[in-house]
């Protein structure tokens, strides 16, 4: 069967090993159409970034030095002053663009809001004053735990305005995870909501905050957005007298004007926690000037943004770095008009995304391979119900995109006329690092192509020797403006985690290959970090959550290949003496992990075994376990207590596999 109007099948595309040059019609209006910008950046890297900083941002004070580099600590635009919020809002309003729409917001139940730059600035100033009224001062940390409502962007920008670093915690995380993050940064205030709509039901957040706060001591006030109750949901929210405040009451009472705080280029803008190879999430630090420069640059040129005419939609949640850089800071710095959507792609129907594209005339769509593979499963009938002809650029992020998904996206969503930008980057890099430029780069399905201008990447072998072609470890060889400045409270861990494996290089944790034409193909993590639906989660974190249950003696967790989510979490568990393996125990353990970490940590499958294969030095043989897991059909809820598995593990371990 063919999904292609021309009659070609996906197999035809793959067999041809086709390359996709930018269509001439696209090039005609593209911002960048040739390789000149790469040469320019290669000749004078610092000068190149300094030009971007000057072109794309408004500074209160110009910098003295572009870069101070004392490996592994970088300082960009040293001596410069600016405010991120002012760059996102005030300057657009002052330039007469206050009526431009910043966000077309759509709630899952179908309620909508149109928020202009002027509206957003007014609301942010009031909320910034409200935060000040709660005692938040420059430098204080504010935790944000919210659904995808406009107030989430308001809270982020209000923090930036007064110089209070925000720490956004994804709304799917558990009370324990939230408490850990609040404690690590001693947050003073938490901004949350009664809940958000998910698959037609209210997903409550405030009760989780209440549980988390029982284990924290730094929080003085909680601000609660009334999302569910105000949209017809039946929810009673407990408010603790003296601590909890309704957002709408604070904003109504706040002063309308709040001048933006001038910030040093290297002042902390935000913390965002991400999983590493150990059980303890790392507070990744991003500062102001360099971060804003690179997010504005990449958002403009990677998506070929024409802010007067484009309607841009990044489908991520602001709880992840993609949302920070490409829903809030990048698009707003560039004066873009964005769509923001609260809910899931299957509510009320499996065509919700395509309905949004048609309704708002979306021109640039940035989503994840796991979503694309889900849409493939749902069938072409869903996108075919809608007119998608407004689209002109498609983006992908979060994990390697398999060529089948790439080609499906190209044909069925992009109508074969839209360049696809497969963007490789990380929470730590802050902004896109390896990606095509849509008007200049000939793409290959599944390859993120080349490092962007001003970015230097190189593959190395086990000994750190550069590998110009073939497979190797992906490293970055020069500091870049939006790089992490460290791990909050732990400079040694920063050095140790990223800069010690290969001398003089940042090691990203990914394996990659470079082909004969110099194209980079990122293959995925080579460490104990799993990637499930584009979300990072460490094997150790899930193992710790499992052994926290009294029935579990030992656990080993692996990420097994999964057709939809990229990887799926599979846990091998040995139970304590008296407990018998059963479906019920498996279900209990899966829920236990969801309670400890959040749903994203819940194992897809639990496999009970009498013992775990270990090397002589006592290390669990994860690769063997991954092979075993990948060798069988993994059910969604099924819990295997399969004697064959145990046999296989024993046999393989004995054979030294």
Q: Does 522 bind ligand WT7 (CB under 6 A)?
A: yes
Task: Compare residues 320 and 572 and give the one whose CB is closer to ligand WT7.
Answer: 320
Q: Does 536 bind ligand WT7 (CB under 6 A)?
A: yes
Closest to 305 in 3D by CA, of 478, 607, 56: 56
Q: Which of 509, 566, 598, 613 forms a contact with ligand WT7 (CB under 6 A)?
A: 509
Q: Spell out, one character per residue from 322 to 341, where the chain touches ligand WT7: x when CB under 6 A holds, - when not.
A: x-------------------
Q: Does 315 bind ligand WT7 (CB under 6 A)?
A: no
# of chain residues touching ligand WT7 (CB under 6 A) = 23
Q: Does 403 bind ligand WT7 (CB under 6 A)?
A: no
Smallest separation, CB 300 to ligand WT7 (Å): 18
- The tokens for 188 are 């003073």
Whole-number Å distance between alpha carbons of 525 and 185: 28
Distance from first CA to last CA of the chain, Å, rounded? 41
* 51 annotated ligand-binding residue: no
Whole-number Å distance between alpha carbons of 111 and 231: 8
Task: Compare residues 145 and 498 and give the one whose CB is closer to ligand WT7.
Answer: 498
Q: Does 624 bind ligand WT7 (CB under 6 A)?
A: no
Q: Which of 294, 423, 497, 544 forms a contact with ligand WT7 (CB under 6 A)?
A: 423
* 425 annotated ligand-binding residue: yes
Whole-number Å distance between alpha carbons of 325 and 155: 15
Task: Compare residues 293 and 531 and give the one whose CB is closer to ligand WT7.
Answer: 531
Residue 72, preceding peptide bond in cis (omega within 30° of 0) = yes
Q: Does 448 bind ligand WT7 (CB under 6 A)?
A: yes
Smallest separation, CB 536 to ligand WT7 (Å): 4
Contacts of 382 (CB under 8 A, 6+ apart): 349, 350, 351, 354, 375
Smallest separation, CB 362 to ligand WT7 (Å): 20
Enumerate residues 265-294 that contact ligand WT7 by CB under 6 A: 274
Q: Does 510 bind ligand WT7 (CB under 6 A)?
A: yes
Q: How far is CA 305 from CA 26, 157, 345, in A?
A: 12, 22, 25
Q: Does 106 bind ligand WT7 (CB under 6 A)?
A: no
Strand, helix or coil for residue 139:
coil
Contacts of 623 (CB under 8 A, 6+ apart): none
Q: Does 425 bind ligand WT7 (CB under 6 A)?
A: yes
Residue 590 C-alpha from the chain's centroid: 24
Q: Does 476 bind ligand WT7 (CB under 6 A)?
A: no
Residue with tokens 């080609």: 407
Whole-number Å distance between alpha carbons of 442 and 248: 50
Q: Which of 58, 218, 426, 579 forms a contact with ligand WT7 (CB under 6 A)?
A: 426
Task: Compare residues 323 and 586 and give the one whose CB is closer to ligand WT7.
Answer: 323
Smallest separation, CB 505 to ligand WT7 (Å): 15
Q: Does 345 bind ligand WT7 (CB under 6 A)?
A: no
Strand partners, 22: none
Other CB atoms within 10 A of residue 374 CB: 17
Whole-number Å distance between alpha carbons of 488 and 286: 10
Smallest separation, CB 372 to ligand WT7 (Å): 12
Alpha helices in 255-329 (DSSP H): 289-302, 321-323
Q: Spell out, one character per residue from 485 to 504, where the chain touches ligand WT7: x when CB under 6 A holds, - when not.
A: --------------------
* 308 annotated ligand-binding residue: no
* 201 annotated ligand-binding residue: yes
Burial class (CB in 10 A: 0-12, 13-18, 19+), 422: buried
Q: Kindly provide the residue ranges of all beta strands, DSSP E only, lying in 44-188, ordered along the sequence.
A: 65-70, 73-78, 81-82, 101-106, 112-116, 142-145, 166-168
Contacts of 260 (CB under 8 A, 6+ apart): 83, 85, 86, 90, 161
Q: Does 525 bind ligand WT7 (CB under 6 A)?
A: yes
Whole-number Å distance between alpha carbons of 191 and 168: 9
Q: Which of 57, 321, 411, 460 forms a contact with ligand WT7 (CB under 6 A)?
A: 321
Smallest separation, CB 521 to ligand WT7 (Å): 9
Q: Does 398 bind ligand WT7 (CB under 6 A)?
A: yes
Smallest separation, CB 278 to ligand WT7 (Å): 16
Helix (H) or strand (E) holding 160: helix 150-162
* 114 annotated ligand-binding residue: no
* 237 annotated ligand-binding residue: no
Q: Which of 167, 287, 298, 427 forms a contact with ligand WT7 (CB under 6 A)?
A: 427
Contacts of 485 (CB under 8 A, 6+ apart): 73, 74, 266, 268, 285, 286, 287
* 605 annotated ligand-binding residue: no
Task: Compare residues 485 and 592 and give the one whose CB is closer to ligand WT7.
Answer: 485
* 652 annotated ligand-binding residue: no
CA-CA-CA-CA torsion sign (259, 67, 73, 505): positive
Smallest separation, CB 31 to ligand WT7 (Å): 21
Task: Compare residues 274 and 315 and give the one whose CB is closer to ligand WT7.
Answer: 274
Q: Does 531 bind ligand WT7 (CB under 6 A)?
A: yes
Task: Show binding-site residues.
Answer: 198-201, 322, 398-400, 422-427, 510, 525, 533, 536, 547, 552
Task: Show binding-site residues for CoA.
Answer: 198-201, 322, 533
Task: Show binding-site residues for Mg(2+).
Answer: 547, 552
- Which residues are near ligand WT7 by CB under 6 A? 274, 321-322, 397-400, 422-427, 448, 508-510, 522, 524-525, 531, 534, 536
């Amino acid at each position: 069967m063919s999904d292609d109007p021309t009659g070609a099948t996906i197999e035809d595309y793959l067999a041809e090993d086709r390359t996709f040059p930018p269509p001439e019609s696209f090039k005609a209006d593209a911002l960048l159409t040739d390789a000149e910008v790469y040469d320019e950046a290669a000749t004078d890297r610092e000068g190149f970034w300094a030009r971007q900083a000057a072109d794309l941002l408004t500074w209160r004070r110009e910098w003295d030095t572009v870069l101070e580099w004392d490996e592994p600590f970088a300082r960009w635009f040293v001596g410069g002053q600016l405010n991120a919020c002012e760059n996102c809002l005030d300057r657009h309003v002052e330039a007469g663009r206050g009526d431009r729409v910043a966000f077309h917001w759509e709630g899952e139940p179908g309620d909508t809001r149109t928020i202009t730059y002027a509206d957003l600035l007014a609301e942010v100033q009031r909320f910034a004053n409200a935060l000040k009224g709660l005692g938040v001062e420059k430098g204080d940390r504010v935790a944000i735990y919210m659904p995808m409502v406009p107030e989430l962007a308001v809270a982020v920008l209000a923090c930036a305005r007064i110089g209070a670093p925000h720490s956004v915690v994804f709304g799917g995380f558990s009370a324990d995870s939230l408490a850990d993050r609040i404690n690590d940064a001693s947050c003073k205030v938490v901004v949350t909501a009664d809940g958000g709509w998910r698959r037609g039901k209210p997903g409550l957040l405030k009760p989780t905050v209440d549980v988390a706060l029982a284990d924290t001591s730094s929080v003085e006030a909680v601000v609660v957005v009334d999302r569910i109750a105000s949209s017809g949901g039946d929810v009673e929210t407990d408010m603790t007298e003296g601590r909890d405040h309704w957002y709408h009451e604070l904003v109504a009472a706040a002063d309308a004007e709040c001048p933006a705080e001038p910030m040093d280029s290297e002042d902390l803008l935000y913390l965002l926690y991400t999983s590493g190879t150990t059980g303890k999430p790392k507070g990744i630090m991003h500062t102001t000037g360099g971060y804003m420069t690179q997010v504005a640059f990449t958002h403009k040129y990677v998506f070929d943004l024409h802010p007067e005419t484009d309607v841009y939609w990044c489908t991520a949640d602001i709880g992840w770095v993609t949302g920070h850089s490409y829903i809030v800071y990048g698009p707003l710095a560039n004066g873009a008009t964005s769509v923001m959507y609260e809910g899931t792609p299957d509510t009320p129907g499996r065509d919700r995304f395509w309905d949004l594209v048609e309704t708002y005339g979306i021109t640039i769509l940035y989503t994840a391979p796991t979503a694309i593979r889900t849409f493939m499963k749902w069938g072409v009938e869903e996108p075919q119900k809608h007119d998608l002809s407004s689209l002109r650029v498609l983006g992908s992020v979060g994990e390697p995109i398999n060529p089948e998904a790439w080609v499906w996206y190209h044909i069925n969503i992009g109508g074969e006329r839209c360049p696809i930008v497969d963007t490789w980057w990380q929470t730590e890099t802050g902004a896109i690092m390896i990606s095509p430029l849509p008007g200049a780069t000939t793409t290959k399905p599944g390859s993120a192509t080349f490092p962007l201008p001003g970015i230097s990447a190189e593959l190395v072998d086990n000994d750190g020797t550069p590998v110009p072609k073939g497979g190797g470890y992906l490293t970055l060889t020069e500091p870049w403006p939006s790089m992490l400045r460290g791990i909050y409270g732990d400079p040694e861990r920063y050095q140790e985690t990223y800069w010690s494996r290969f001398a003089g290089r940042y090691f990203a944790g990914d394996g990659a290959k470079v082909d004969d034409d110099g194209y980079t193909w990122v293959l995925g993590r080579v460490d104990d970090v799993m990637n499930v639906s584009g979300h990072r989660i460490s094997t150790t974190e899930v193992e710790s959550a499992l052994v926290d249950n009294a029935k579990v003696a030992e656990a080993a967790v692996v990420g097994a290949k999964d057709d939809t989510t990229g990887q799926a979490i599979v846990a091998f568990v040995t139970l304590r003496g008296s407990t018998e393996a059963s479906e019920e125990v498996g279900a209990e353990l899966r829920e236990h992990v969801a309670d400890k970490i959040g749903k994203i940590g819940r194992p897809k499958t639990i496999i009970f075994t009498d013992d775990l294969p270990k090397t002589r030095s006592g290390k669990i043989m994860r690769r063997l376990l991954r092979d075993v897991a990948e060798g069988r059909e993994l059910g969604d809820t099924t819990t295997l207590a399969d004697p064959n598995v145990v046999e296989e593990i024993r046999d393989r371990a004995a054979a030294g596999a």
